[in-house]
């Protein structure tokens, strides 16, 4: 056997090889220092003087296919897309939440929040604050209509009472049992007597307790006849 074909491995070489294997293993097991930041969602900003609790139309989630959920936290009001990965990217949110900026429904919501909503818009598109304003306006209208109705009712009651008195007067005039009725009416009209007082006079005339002053044509003719018969 040729001694040049024999490879001799020393203990130092074995120790160095083992240390290299351990170093590689430690590098594989060592966790990465880079930490992922959770996606907070897309933060929705409202105009000055408005709040998310009163301006955001929460009811739209029941009638429209909105692709996000909402979250009100101490640091703001956030929209979380259904496709949110939970890991924020370089712009502070994930791709799904970032795409909400171009969502048509969200753009229209922001336009209504900024420019106001027409009162004839369906109630689901209003925020709680808008619904409160609508209720206040409706209550004012209802109170006004109630007051008008009460005033009209009082007027009708008064008219009804007047009509009843006029009916009674007409019934008394149509009666043939009241003596000198025409003279009673003439005296009443001459003195500007009201309809209630006129009816009282007619009732008293029917009872014989009212005798109007003055003479009718028949009495005047009788007086003229007595004057002619008795000479001057």
pLDDT digits (tens, 9 = 90+) for 40-87: 999 999 998 899 999 999 999 999 999 999 999 888 999 999 999 999
Q: What's the chain's length in residues? A: 232
Q: What is the mean pLDDT of the chain?
A: 76
Mean pLDDT of 175-199: 66
Mean pLDDT of 27-38: 60
Summarised one tens digit per residue, pLDDT across range 107-133 is: 999 999 999 888 788 999 999 998 999
Angle ∠(224,229,231) on CA atoms, nearest 5: 90
pLDDT at residue 152, rounded to an integer: 81
Asked whether residue 2 carries a pLDDT value surpassing 60, the answer given is no
pLDDT at residue 103, rounded to an integer: 93
Distance, CA of 127 to CA of 45 (rounded, Å) = 15
pLDDT at residue 1, rounded to an integer: 46
The answer to whether the Cα torsion of 129, 134, 138, 140 is positive or negative is positive
pLDDT at residue 180, rounded to an integer: 61
Asked whether residue 9 carries a pLDDT value surpassing 50, the answer given is no
- Taking Cα atoms as reference points, which of 194, 187, 185 lies closest to residue 165? 194
pLDDT at residue 104, rounded to an integer: 94
Give the dihedral of Cα atoms 125, 128, 134, 138; nearest 10 deg.
130
Q: Which two tokens stand for residue 3?
A: 């001694």
H/E run at residue 50: none
Asked whether residue 154 carries a pLDDT value surpassing 50, the answer given is yes
Summarised one tens digit per residue, pLDDT across range 192-231 is: 677 677 777 777 766 665 655 555 556 666 666 667 676 6
Residue whose structure tokens are 């009241």: 178
pLDDT at residue 82, rounded to an integer: 94
- Taking Cα atoms as reference points, which of 57, 158, 166, 74 lies closest to residue 109? 57
């Amino acid at each position: 056997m040729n001694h040049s074909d024999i490879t001799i491995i020393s203990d130092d070489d074995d120790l160095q090889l083992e240390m290299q294997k351990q170093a590689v293993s430690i590098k594989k097991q060592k966790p990465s220092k880079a930490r992922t930041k959770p996606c907070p969602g897309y933060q929705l900003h409202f105009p000055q003087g408005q709040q998310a609790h009163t301006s955001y139309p929460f009811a739209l989630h029941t009638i429209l296919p909105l692709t996000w959920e909402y979250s009100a936290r101490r640091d703001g009001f956030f929209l979380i897309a259904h496709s949110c990965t939970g890991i924020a990217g370089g712009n502070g949110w994930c791709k799904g939440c970032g795409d909400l900026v171009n969502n048509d429904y969200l753009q229209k919501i922001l336009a209504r929040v900024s420019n106001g909503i027409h009162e004839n818009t369906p109630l689901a598109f209003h925020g709680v604050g808008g619904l409160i304003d609508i209720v206040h306006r409706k209550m004012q209208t209802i109170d006004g209509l109630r007051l008008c109705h009460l005033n009209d009712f009082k007027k009708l009651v008064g008219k009804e009472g007047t009509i009843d008195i006029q009916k009674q007067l007409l019934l008394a005039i149509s009666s043939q049992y009241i003596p000198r009725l025409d003279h009673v009416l003439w005296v009443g009209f001459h003195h500007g007597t009201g309809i209630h007082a006129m009816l009282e006079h007619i009732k008293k005339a029917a009872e014989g307790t009212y005798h109007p002053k003055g003479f009718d044509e028949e009495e005047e003719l009788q007086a003229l006849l007595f004057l002619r018969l008795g000479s001057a």
